[in-house]
Structure 1
Amino acid sequence: MTQESFQFELVEEVDEDLKELKILLSCCQCPGNRRRLELAICEFEVTLRAKRTWAWFPLKSYEWSGFEYESPVITLDFHVPGAGTLPNEDIHCDFRTDSFDLKIWNVEWPEDPGVKYHHRVRKTRLMRDIEPQRCSVEAVGHHVYVKLQKVYDPRHGYCAWPDLAAGSKRKPFKYREDAPDGGLMDFLEGEYEKYEGYDGFRYDIGKAMEQVHRCEPVSGFLD
């Protein structure tokens, strides 16, 4: 199966799901259920539109702020000409615990008048977790602002982000209130398995794990 035929099948599948949801909505009487169906239809319409968009152009440059310690919100500023005049349905952003997916349709650049560009920015493995329900996207003038609400750490507050995404690098240790050791042992075990073959580093991690078992302080980790 070619990539094009696979994409076509995905579009057909989502289109059928959307039709079923609209039939359910027409039969539904309960206001609460109608609202949930309307939200689901909106999500499916965005998904269908994204799958029907065959060519995406990345927005590689942006400015960001709020990455410093104690700042609760990270703001990403993307330069997009005429963003403030685009319809609401042409700008959409999906937020997950450690990722976001920004889509912008029908952007006309001054350098290429008359041509509509569709832009997409997908960032996965964010440096730290965010609260999806409190994140937002806003278009003002020639800018699109993506606002990421940091997760409040019970010990350290709103932590600093050394970078937006971790990429292939290790993400910072995340303290867990529900674990007796704050999740440190699980973190060290994951690191131990990851560095198989690096005996010196695995020895250091194993030593740190023993210290955690004995409730001794581990060098390099804040209390």
Structure 2
Amino acid sequence: MEALQKDIEELQSLNSSATRVNVKLFLGAKIEELQSKLVDLKDERTVEALDKDSRDNFFKPIKNYSWDQNDTYIKIYVSTEGLSEENVKVDFEKKSMDLKIINLNGPNYHLSLPTLLRPVSTKDCSFKVKNSMLYVLLKKVEKSKWECLSVHEKTSQPKVDPPKPSDNPTDGLMNMVKKMYDEGDDETKRMLNKAMSEAYAKKDQMPPM
């Protein structure tokens, strides 16, 4: 592009010193042709720069991953194809992890855990790529079992109200028997019906089933 600009400047210099009409017309036409090429070239460079910037800054979220743990480590698994460690960037903080996969056959991918459930030791965290799988290893500061990966997951879990205490001590047993009856097969129901009938017969009552 720089050479093209210099050609245009040289032709403009020649055109300004030319005296013959045909020569000036010829040089003027050539200058317009090169100026048009220069504009097209600048437009192409601009589009390429915008495309690259868009690719570099657009990340698809990683939604499919799994994890497990022992008392010391959390291990996160991300299934990949054709990935090398050069394409992976992971930022470890005390209570966060940010994973970026750059240019995996074109697209970029991102997994962010901004509020880990408990602190991790950043200097002992690591990652590796092996057999089409990306492994991210988080070292726990304290040995423990995590119920989930993040504070957000824990707070978003539905709360289950504990069963209300009953004044009747047999209510819990009756609820358990009813649950067995509702979920049991025909043989289980026959057995429970028989047992309840015999129990209520002794009290001279009919069973409530």
Question: TM class, shorter-chain normalised?
Answer: 0.3 to 0.5
Bigger Cα Rg: 2
TM-score between the two structures when normalised by the length of structure 2:
0.46
